Structure 1
Amino acid sequence: MNALLKAAIAAIVLQWSLLVPAATAQEISANITQAGAGNLAGITQIDSDSVEARIAQTGSRNVANLGQEAAYITSAEITQRGNDNVAVARQKDTLLSGIVARQTGQRNSAQLLQDSVFPFLIQTSQTGTDNDIVIVERAGGFAGPVVTQEGNGNRARVEQYLDYYSGIGISQTGLRNLAEITQTDAYMTDGMSITQQGADNRASISNTGQFNSMSVTQLGNGATASASQSGTGNQGFILQH
């Protein structure tokens, strides 16, 4: 191939590269809105650069199930207003991920899981009676779950495994509430905290790892609190008033 032909081909290739835009990131989004009784909603998103999912339900006996896996940026949001609602959300093998779950009504239940997510963030709020929430996080770090419950007989349990540089916050207002935090093989988790306002509330924190801190604050009569820490450099504080 002579030099003139090579130069011509090079010029064409250069011009083509300027005209053709770079491949854009893959983005997917899903949104479900339901109004009425007996509804069921489910969203599953797998293998994408950026995923976003929202489920909004108004009515009785609704169920929302949301799953996201193998994505760089993920956002999951569930909003339920009504009675007997159930919210389930799962994120696995993702980066820059967050779950937001809001429930208003009676006997609401939420189960939220993040597995191999970095960093992770969960924000939940439940307003009503007999609310129950379970959060499990494995092999992740930074940020952490924030749980807010208002009502009587609420139950909140957070479990973290192999996490680092993360925090946990549980806030409960009402009577006969239960809050439990368990951390296993954690490192430098900053601020495992439980705050309860009301009577006959119970709080429990268990932690194994290094350089972790925890606190329990209970305002009201008949409150009980327990804490267990195993490892080096850990700190614990309980205030009852």
Structure 2
Amino acid sequence: MKRLILASASATALFAASPALAASSTSTINQNGTSNSATADQTGSSSDSNSTISQNIADTSGGNNSASVTQSDVGVVYHPANTSTVKQEGTGNAATVLQTQRIGAYYNSSSITQIGQGAGAGGGSVADVAQYGHNDSTVDQSGIRATAIVRQGLNGQPVGGNTSLVSQDDDDSVFVGQNAVAPPTVAGNYGGNSSVVIQGRGGNAGNVEQSGLFAISTLTQSGGASAGIVQHGAFNESGVFQIGDGAAAQVTQTGTRNLAAVAQNGDGNFAGVSQSGTEGTVRVLQIGADQTAGVTQNTTGDSSSLVAQLNGPDNIAGIDQRGDDVLAGIVQLGGDNTAMLTQNAQSSAAGIAQIGASNVASVQQTGAANMAGAGQYGSGNRAGLTQSGTANAAGVVQADVFVVDLAAALNGDFQPLLANARQAYDNQATVVQGGTSNELLALQKGSDNLASLTQTGINGFVSVIQGGTDGFALVSQAGTDNQARILQGGSLNVAAIYQ
């Protein structure tokens, strides 16, 4: 029976390849076991085509494997140099490869390897690859219920230079689409995209869609994570690394030369990144569980955003960054902290650092050449800072002693620098700053302090230090060359300065 099956398979292969034999097409099929089906159809090729299908090479128990390879379109105007290799072991595997070529877009190559371990181990493996021109795809699947679908350059446009690598092990699924839709910004000149997806055990799901010019995407996940990556425009790059059950990441990139990096280690974390504009950089680090981070970036001029959520759980951070040459950073160490940063400025920097639990901070920054920061150490603290104007500096610190190297954090150093710090509790601060070259600092020590500061004009200076409990300070400055300083110790203090 095996001899008869092998003879039939060889005859089928030769018959399928016969229209292209004059164009040096080659097809080889080797099948062992039972219920195997292999079809290699190389039609209309006017140059080299090569297809090799091997099923159940080491597994003599056989299985319900199916492999189908079709290379080149019909017609003498097509010039394919297609190569496809399919190797399947185990049971229930299915692989389908379609490669077509047109003049000016020659080389396609696809290799699919699906290996199951034991009865039923490879029963859910499905790999479906369709390539248009100058594409290269490698799919390696081992385990159960793995699904990989790769689409590269199928819309009849002058595309090329795509490559995709998918490696899966255990109950995973992934979709990779490259140049499936022509990007409006670089119509008629796109391709060169690269995608690498590596998925481990735990039922992961990945979706990568690339269109445009020279996009690079890397996705590595395990433990039941899911990720979606969409890249349009030119020279965008993204990297996602996830470990955890229910961890999710979504990265969308448009524009030119944007970079996004997401790293997650923990269950139930979510990170969303949306980039448009030019030369933007976003980095998200999540360690812990059930944390949420969202960054929207529409900037130019080497702008950067950073979110670092450490230990968790239930931290929430959001950055909306717009403008030119701006920096924004949020660092959270603890749980149940909330930080929101909105930036629409030029050559400015803003940051929020939270250590403790149940702290809330928000920073809104506009204008040019401004610096704003909020630091919280303790629990139950509330800080709101609104900054506009030019060359202003404003800071809100809610702790006895609190030192944070914001510049280091914005450059990837996620460890806050603390020196002899004592926690503060249930403090509130509201700061509104405008004008030019103003400086403002609100330091709240102890607990239950309330400060409200409003500053406009030129060269104003405000400094508020509160200690004890139930202190209240209100400073309002307008005009030019103003200075105000409030220092309170003890409890039940009230101070107000109007200028």
Asked if TM exceeds 0.5, the reply is no
Bigger Rg, structure 1 or 2: 2
Between Structure 1 and Structure 2, which shows a larger proportion of strand residues?
1
TM-score category of the 2 structures, normalised to the smaller one: 0.3 to 0.5
Q: Normalization by structure 1: what TM-score?
A: 0.44
Structure having greater relative contact order (Cα 8 Å, sep ≥ 6): 1
